[in-house]
Structure 1
Amino acid sequence: MDRRQFLTAGAVSGLALVVAACTEADPSPPPTSTPDSPAPDLPPSGAGDPVVTGTVAEGLNVPWAIAFLRDGSALVTQRDDATIVRVTPDGAVRTVGDVSDAAPRGEGGLQGISIGPDEDAVFVYYTTARDNRLVRMEFDGARVSNPRPLITGLDTAFNHHGGAVVRAPDGYLYVAVGDAAQPDVAQDVNALNGKILRVDDGGRPAPDNPFGNEVWSTGHRNNEGLAFDAAGRLWASEFGQDRRDELNLIVRGGNYGWPEFEGESDDPGFISPVVTWPPGEASPAGLAIVGGHAYMAALRGRRLWRIPIDDASGESDVGDPRGLFTDTYGRLRAVAAAPDGSLWVSTSNTDGRGRPAPGDDRILRVAV
């Protein structure tokens, strides 16, 4: 397979693309299927096809990120009321804490979450009245408490917050920070916006970072999904502006081009994405990798993208992406690999840009 798979779609006006990419807007009609109906773009009996096996939980408030505990339950951030809930596999939902200084607005609020290796701490990314920040909170299994700021002063705006947080096999935290609608900052290696950061649990730069600070990679516009594959490589989903959304394979010190280019570039100083989509088919959010496939949630695209990746040999080739559950559940935001081998996927229909169905927002269980 060619490493760059460029997908095409029907014509969309330039204005509509700008609105969709920049604001996650969804001008399309609501899904016509019932929540548990078969996905229309899947064959009815194909072996190995992912299938939604049920609803884990419902009635949630913009569930933005999902992080699993060893017992199979998950901590889920709710963006717009800045609370963290614990969701068990059998559907019990219990609030374990809130973030008192969060100030949700626009696309910001309580976003990414990662659980410490001993499950005695959580790391969350959120918006305050004056900045975006990464904070460590204690977790005793029942409550989160005692927030301690690790990285503060990240520029904030109505949109382009980034927000994904993931723990790597090397033990460090990787944090996606959006450009806060200031494109030029993404090329400044001394600024933290428009970057992917790599830090320890105290928020300090990892010692072998490429620029001597927190920055791991540059040239990003708005990454909302980060995931590691079986080979230990980092992948990131990224909102484009008005032409191409992206899936990128992230390397140390890599420059991913924003705002100098969007999508593919022939400039050897920049790294091109491995897959692109028109914004109407994507507006990519959460990302998870299971069994040699990357699964990327799409907001405006209202589907789950399944992208074959070669995570055994370490090659950057990808197979043909395939859209799953298109228009069946509305906007999809979080996707996480559960301990039992399934995926948990959240809807995002109560975020002001979707059309909620009864029970929204919900978390779906997908067998892959």
Structure 2
Amino acid sequence: MIEDMDRRTLLSGVAVIGAATLVGCSGGSKGGDGRVATSSSTPPPATDVPSPTATPTAGTPTIAGTVATGLNVPWGIAFLAGGDALVSQRDAGTIVRVATDGSVTELGEVPGSAGRAGGEGGLLGLAVDPDDQSVLFAYVTTATDDRVVRMSLDGDTLGRPRDILTGIPVGARHHGGRLVFGPDGTLFVSTGDAGDGSLALDRDSLAGKILRIDRDGAAADGNPFGNRTWSYGHRNIEGLAFDADGRLWATEFGDKSADELNLIERGGNYGWPGVEGKGGGKGLVDPLVTWGTDEASPAGLAITRSTAYIGALQGECLFAVPLDGERAGAPTAHFAGDHGRIRSIAVAPDGALWVTTSNTDGRGDPGTDDDRILRVTI
């Protein structure tokens, strides 16, 4: 991979709609999942976003402290009612409980997880059943497929995983992996294209999609095509989150021109592999925010207080994007280059953000305490 001369340089661009200023953040050579960064004298494409009509209610993000250290690629975060969180360790294939006092307890391995340093798969997203906190769902890469499993949770004891959705195409890259429950109690699953873009446009394939399933893995009632597909034409989505009004948003890794923040429509075609970024044309859904692919690699996503918070792997920062209904404002970068690669973001029960670093993933420069979970107040 090609090293940038100064991986802590703050990039900036100008939005072409409205007068808002886009603040980007530095990118080293440690490219986002499925992409190798390259240096260029040509500036990245300007972000094309509308200005919001309402003032965001969130304050300036501030690092309030470090919750936990010494973790292995912390990827999925699922909070329990008492404030503790279950966290997946991608390459180790284990789930740990991280208490509010920072203590870390390993609950066990998920059998068959095939994570490795420098790769993208392994033990990825987690979601606790909103109606029963003794039930945990996980997205896991195996040697033969990506799949969703369900486990029981009794204190610090995990039950044996039961497969509920298997056969998601697997490749060396682009696994997706995020899980989130919707307001109606169905489970939304993001999948990557497994390195084969043609699968993303095949509405019957499980790859390159956002899927909507019930707790047993079957297609949820009301899906647009009578199968598990909710939206399609996606390259690799690692961030899914609902806003306060029940709208689903997603972050997506681009290839050569544009990373994206998308508002997800039922049955929407998001254009990959034919299109990156805006301008796809009739029948395609355009992203609301784009970045040049050397400044973001947007991974985890959390939404609170009318703001989308996005972890940037190659950008090595936390982006804040103000939201106003179905509109998104210009991104602002925070903590650029201060903590290395930023992967996952989750809103804790106390309203703070838990932000994970991803420096032990084989593409970062780990410090002695990596990987960490940072507590960010807003």
Do they superpose with TM above 0.5? yes
CA distance in 2, matches of 1:126, 1:111: 6
Task: Give the corresponding residue for 1:318.
Answer: 328
SS of the equivalent of 2:31 reads helix
Task: Give the corresponding residue for 2:308.
Answer: 294
Task: Give the corresponding residue for 2:152.
Answer: 138
CA distance in 1, matches of 2:142, 2:226: 27
Cα 1:307–1:207 shift into 2, 3 Å: same
Cα 1:304–1:50 shift into 2, 3 Å: same
Cα 1:109–1:22 shift into 2, 3 Å: closer
CA distance in 1, matches of 2:280, 2:175: 28
Task: Give the corresponding residue for 1:73.
Answer: 84
SS of the equivalent of 2:198 reads helix
Matches within 5 A, 1:51-66: 51-66=62-77
One-letter code aligned to 2:268: G
One-letter code aligned to 1:329: H
> Among 190, 193, 197, which residue is 1:179 paired with?
193
CA distance in 1, matches of 2:101, 2:62: 18
> Among 347, 355, 368, which residue is 2:365 paired with?
355
User: Does the 8 Å contact 2:31/2:313 carry over to 1?
Assistant: no
User: Does the 8 Å contact 2:22/2:332 carry over to 1?
Assistant: no
User: 1:239 deviation in Å?
Assistant: 0.2
User: Does the 8 Å contact 1:61/1:80 carry over to 2?
Assistant: yes
Task: Give the corresponding residue for 1:305.
Answer: 319
CA distance in 1, matches of 2:280, 2:360: 40
CA distance in 2, matches of 1:57, 1:22: 24
Q: What is the percent sequence identity of the aligned residues?
A: 53
Task: Give the corresponding residue for 2:141.
Answer: 127
SS of the equivalent of 2:155 reads coil
One-letter code aligned to 2:127: S
CA distance in 2, matches of 1:276, 1:253: 21
SS of the equivalent of 2:327 reads coil
Task: Give the corresponding residue for 1:108.
Answer: 121
Is 1:222 the counterpart of 2:236? The answer is: yes
User: Does the 8 Å contact 2:341/2:359 carry over to 1?
Assistant: yes
TM-score (norm 2): 0.86
User: Does the 8 Å contact 1:335/1:345 carry over to 2?
Assistant: yes
One-letter code aligned to 1:271: V
Aligned length: 341
Is 1:231 the counterpart of 2:245? The answer is: yes
CA distance in 2, matches of 1:187, 1:305: 29
SS of the equivalent of 1:185 reads helix
User: Does the 8 Å contact 1:60/1:360 carry over to 2?
Assistant: yes
1:308-338 per-position Cα deviation (integer Å, ceiling 9, x unaligned) = 001xxxx321122100000000000010000
SS of the equivalent of 1:269 reads coil
User: Does the 8 Å contact 1:7/1:276 carry over to 2?
Assistant: no
One-letter code aligned to 1:283: S
CA distance in 1, matches of 2:124, 2:257: 25
User: Does the 8 Å contact 1:8/1:278 carry over to 2?
Assistant: no
Moved over 4 A (4+): 5-10, 24-28
One-letter code aligned to 2:186: Y
CA distance in 1, matches of 2:177, 2:221: 23
Matches within 5 A, 1:219-298: 219-298=233-312
CA distance in 2, matches of 1:49, 1:296: 14
User: Does the 8 Å contact 1:350/1:360 carry over to 2?
Assistant: yes
Q: Which runs of 5+ in 2 are unaligned?
A: 1-14, 40-57
CA distance in 2, matches of 1:140, 1:210: 36
1:27-83 per-position Cα deviation (integer Å, ceiling 9, x unaligned) = 89xxxxxxxxxxxxxxxxxx9311001000000000011110000000000000000
Matches within 5 A, 1:82-101: 82-101=93-112
User: Does the 8 Å contact 2:33/2:120 carry over to 1?
Assistant: no
One-letter code aligned to 1:80: D
Matches within 5 A, 1:38-49: 48-49=59-60
> Among 166, 178, 186, which residue is 2:180 paired with?
166
One-letter code aligned to 1:59: G
Task: Give the corresponding residue for 1:366.
Answer: 376
Is 1:339 the counterpart of 2:352? The answer is: no
CA distance in 2, matches of 1:355, 1:174: 32
Q: Which runs of 5+ in 1 are unaligned?
A: 29-46
1:142-173 per-position Cα deviation (integer Å, ceiling 9, x unaligned) = 11112110110111111100000001111000
User: 1:364 deviation in Å?
Assistant: 0.1
Task: Give the corresponding residue for 1:23.
Answer: 34
TM-score (norm 1): 0.88
One-letter code aligned to 1:230: A
SS of the equivalent of 2:339 reads coil
